[in-house]
């Protein structure tokens, strides 16, 4: 965005703020409604609760629905709850059905029931139909606002129907074709419909090579499918192939963002969305992981204590403990990241577990030998002792080899056991590899003690 555009937007924001200060509804509406809904949401989120109440009184529920749809998902429910219940119900009724369902899933069930009671019956029924689907499935993220035509229609009749249905549809680039039993037959692109002869039937021009998803399919699988096929939308069907709804690309973008945040949270062992939470709530979420890692850390300390005699004889060994443990943790985390991504994208299913482990083993061997030789040379130059460098270098070589395999193997095994592989988080793998590396290092030092004295 160039400076002119930025300056223009800043001037508009100043004009909107001035209108709010002066309580000039006409000026506010004139300035606020000329900017993009995303910019409206950015301005809206930055206001105090008192100013937001004023904005609610200046905007219709339909206009407010556009703003709320562009607000960050985590904050939407807070804004809906602070509105007058009747106004909030009307806002929800004017939102895209799938977005309204996502928002309502974040609210207390009593509030949901209250909003659905106040809401117009048709909109409430559409939302109720989607609310009973399990979260993170196709049913929970699909929308029922799409264009559908029957095979018996002519192209001319379908175009008339499209003109009527288009204002309420989330997308019109794909027109879905069903038979008399509402079963999905195929799809027609908007382009194909426009250029087709008007007297042809839909049955003659429909593309029957349709790709669809089941209502119970996982949203991650659907995101991968939409990425692979480059679709703007995917139809959702039940077990009898009845067309229930569609999933659009903007929904998938939200899914990808949500899944990425979720996986990162698990890899880091912390909820990345707890920025706005109070310290006590954030601490409660982080403490379980930290307690587990604390116990594992004590186990590492007990291993070092077992080799106290070795340390007493060669105190120089203690200098290299952080080096070996750190290298093991870093290598394991790298391998873990590759494994979790491979599982998430489906790449490992294509190549197989054995091939994946073999590849990681060779990678670990190459990195281990290279780093081992490098540290051997450095310690020899630094300390002037050949065997200490050899011991540390060999320990690092073996440690990196084992850490690389464990970083890949743990999430793969978890995935086989139907456990989310992302729970094999970075801190967990790092601590496990600390234990392995310390055991290898001091075990070898004890075996070759006579060469160190």
Residues 441 and 325 in one domain: yes
- Give residue 272's pLDDT: 46
Q: Does 189 map to a domain? A: yes
- Please, what sign has the CA dihedral across residues 392, 398, 404, 410? negative
Q: What is the mean pLDDT of residues 307-334?
A: 76
pLDDT surpassing 90 at residue 157: yes
Map residue 92 onto helix, strand or coil: helix
Per-residue pLDDT tens over the stretch 379-402? 888 877 788 888 888 888 998 888
Residues 293 and 425 in one domain: yes
User: CATH number, domain at 206?
Assistant: 3.10.580.10
Q: Does 197 map to a domain? A: yes
Q: Of 251, 419, 247, which is closest to residue 343 (Cα–Cα)?
A: 419
Q: What is the mean pLDDT of residues 399-410?
A: 85
Check if the beta carbon of residue 293 is closer than 8 Å to that of residue 269.
yes
Measure the CA–CA gap between 237 and 184, rounded to whole angstroms: 8
Q: Does 98 map to a domain? A: yes
User: CATH number, domain at 444?
Assistant: 1.10.357.20
Domain range for 162: 148-250
Burial 265-278 (b: 16+ CB within 10 A, else e): bbbebbbeebeeee
Residues 232 and 301 in one domain: no
Alpha-helix residue ranges (DSSP H) falling in 154-268: 155-165, 190-195, 202-205, 219-229, 249-268
The count of structural domains within the chain is 3
Q: Does 269 map to a domain? A: no
Check if the beta carbon of residue 138 is closer than 8 Å to that of residue 180.
no
pLDDT surpassing 90 at residue 294: no
Residues 295 and 432 in one domain: yes
Residues 353 and 294 in one domain: yes
Per-residue pLDDT tens over the stretch 227-238? 888 888 899 999
Map residue 234 onto helix, strand or coil: strand
Residues 446 and 375 in one domain: yes
Q: Does 142 map to a domain? A: no
- Looking up tokens 């989330």 gives 170
Q: Does 366 map to a domain? A: yes
The residue out of 105, 132, 159 marking a domain boundary is 132
pLDDT surpassing 50 at residue 4: no
The residue out of 132, 165, 185 marking a domain boundary is 132
Q: What is the mean pLDDT of residues 259-263?
A: 60
Per-residue pLDDT tens over the stretch 79-127? 999 999 999 999 999 998 888 988 998 888 888 988 999 998 888 888 8
Burial 18-44 (b: 16+ CB within 10 A, else e): ebbeeeeeeebbebbeebebebbbbbb
Measure the CA–CA gap between 407 and 328, rounded to whole angstroms: 10
Measure the CA–CA gap between 71 and 88, rounded to whole angstroms: 15
pLDDT surpassing 90 at residue 68: yes
């Amino acid at each position: 965005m160039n400076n002119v555009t930025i300056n223009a937007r800043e001037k508009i924001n100043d004009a909107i703020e001035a209108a709010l200060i002066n309580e000039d509804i006409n000026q506010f509406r004139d300035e606020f409604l000329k900017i993009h809904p995303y910019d409206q949401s950015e301005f809206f989120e930055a206001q105090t609760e008192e100013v937001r109440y004023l904005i609610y009184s200046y905007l219709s529920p339909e206009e407010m629905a556009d703003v709320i749809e562009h607000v960050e998902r985590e904050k939407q429910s807070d804004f809906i709850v602070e509105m007058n219940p009747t106004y909030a119900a009307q806002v929800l009724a004017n939102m895209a059905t799938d977005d309204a369902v996502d928002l309502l899933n974040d609210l207390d069930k009593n509030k949901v029931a209250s909003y659905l009671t106040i809401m117009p019956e048709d909109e409430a029924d559409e939302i109720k139909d989607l609310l009973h689907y399990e979260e993170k499935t196709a049913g929970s993220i699909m929308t029922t606002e799409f264009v559908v035509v029957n095979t018996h229609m002519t192209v001319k009749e379908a175009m008339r129907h499209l003109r009527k249905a288009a204002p309420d549809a989330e997308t019109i680039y794909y027109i879905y074709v069903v038979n008399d039993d509402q079963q999905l037959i195929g799809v027609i692109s908007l382009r194909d419909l426009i250029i087709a002869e008007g007297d042809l039937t839909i049955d003659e021009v429909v593309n029957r090579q349709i790709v669809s998803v089941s209502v119970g399919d996982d949203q991650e699988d659907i995101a991968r499918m939409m990425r692979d096929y480059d679709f703007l939308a995917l139809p959702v069907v039940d077990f009898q192939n009845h067309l229930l709804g569609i999933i659009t690309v903007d929904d998938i973008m939200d899914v990808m963002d949500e899944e990425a945040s979720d996986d990162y949270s698990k890899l880091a062992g912390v909820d990345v969305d707890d920025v706005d939470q109070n310290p006590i709530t954030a601490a409660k979420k982080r403490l379980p992981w930290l307690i587990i890692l604390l116990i594992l850390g004590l186990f590492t300390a007990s291993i070092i204590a077992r080799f106290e005699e070795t340390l007493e004889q060669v105190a120089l060994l203690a200098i290299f403990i952080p080096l070996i443990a750190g290298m093991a943790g870093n290598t394991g985390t790298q391998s873990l990241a590759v494994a979790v991504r491979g599982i998430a994208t489906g790449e490992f299913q294509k190549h197989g577990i054995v091939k994946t482990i073999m590849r990681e083993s060779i990678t670990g061997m190459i990195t281990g030998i290279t780093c081992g030789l490098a540290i051997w040379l450095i310690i020899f130059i630094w300390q002037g002792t050949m065997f200490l460098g050899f011991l540390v270098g060999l320990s690092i070589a073996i440690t990196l080899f084992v850490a690389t395999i464990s970083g890949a193997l743990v999430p793969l095994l978890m995935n086989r056991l139907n456990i989310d592989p992302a729970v094999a988080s970075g801190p967990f793998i790092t601590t496990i590899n600390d234990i392995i590396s310390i055991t290898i290092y001091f075990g070898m030092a004890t075996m070759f003690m006579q060469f160190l004295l």
